[in-house]
A = this chain, B = another copy of it.
């Protein structure tokens, strides 16, 4: 198989990620969905890379968060990715595939496991807490939960895969 050239927007995005990579917060993107009350719903999530050899964007989330229910009602989302150092913005709209442990597709389950094992232990521990959506508090000792580093994803760990079909990249006035 030959090498696939990334789409023009993906090339621009990869270049923006590269030039802002010294800022840890550059991997935070705002992910909008439609709330079950019909209103817009918007929160920060972490970009977890592209699916291999594709334009599809991976995000991990807790199955107990409101966005899962929202995506079950309306499977579309728009990511607004704003880079604070280069003043670039990417709006990425597409359909989202929600992949939890009950997914019937073995390839998707494998991808979910791969992302789990690639996550830090600190990040994995978030999925064991009693409150989805709320981060581990720093005063909470990680020893409260036991986690075997080699074991697969817990039930609350969910992979979201956004398949972009409308992308607008541009530079904001500085």
A117 at the interface (CB under 8 A from B): no
- Cα–Cα, bound, A171→B79 (Å): 20
Q: A82-B28, A126-B173, A173-B136 are in contact. Are A39 and B91 (CB under 8 A)?
A: no
Count of chain A residues near B, Cβ 8 A: 40
A74 at the interface (CB under 8 A from B): yes
A14 at the interface (CB under 8 A from B): no
Contacts of A134 in B (CB 8 A): 170
- Cα–Cα, bound, A125→B35 (Å): 36
A30 touches B30 (CB 8 A): yes
B84 touches A23 (CB 8 A): yes
A16 at the interface (CB under 8 A from B): no
Which chain A residues (126-154) contact chain B, with CB distance < 8 Å? 126, 134-136, 138
B84 touches A171 (CB 8 A): no
Q: Which stretch in A4-12, A41-49, A98-106, A108-116 binds the other chain?
A: A41-49
Q: From residue A168, how far is it (CB to closest CB) to chain B in Å?
A: 9
B89 touches A32 (CB 8 A): no
Binding site for B on A (CB under 8 A): 23, 25, 28, 30-35, 38-44, 74, 76-80, 82, 84, 87, 89, 91, 93, 122-123, 126, 134-136, 138, 170-174
Q: Would you mind naming 21 contact pairs between A and B with Cβ atoms under 8 Å apart?
A: A25-B84, A30-B30, A30-B82, A31-B42, A32-B32, A32-B42, A34-B34, A34-B40, A35-B78, A38-B74, A39-B74, A39-B76, A40-B40, A40-B93, A41-B93, A42-B42, A42-B91, A43-B80, A43-B89, A123-B173, A126-B173
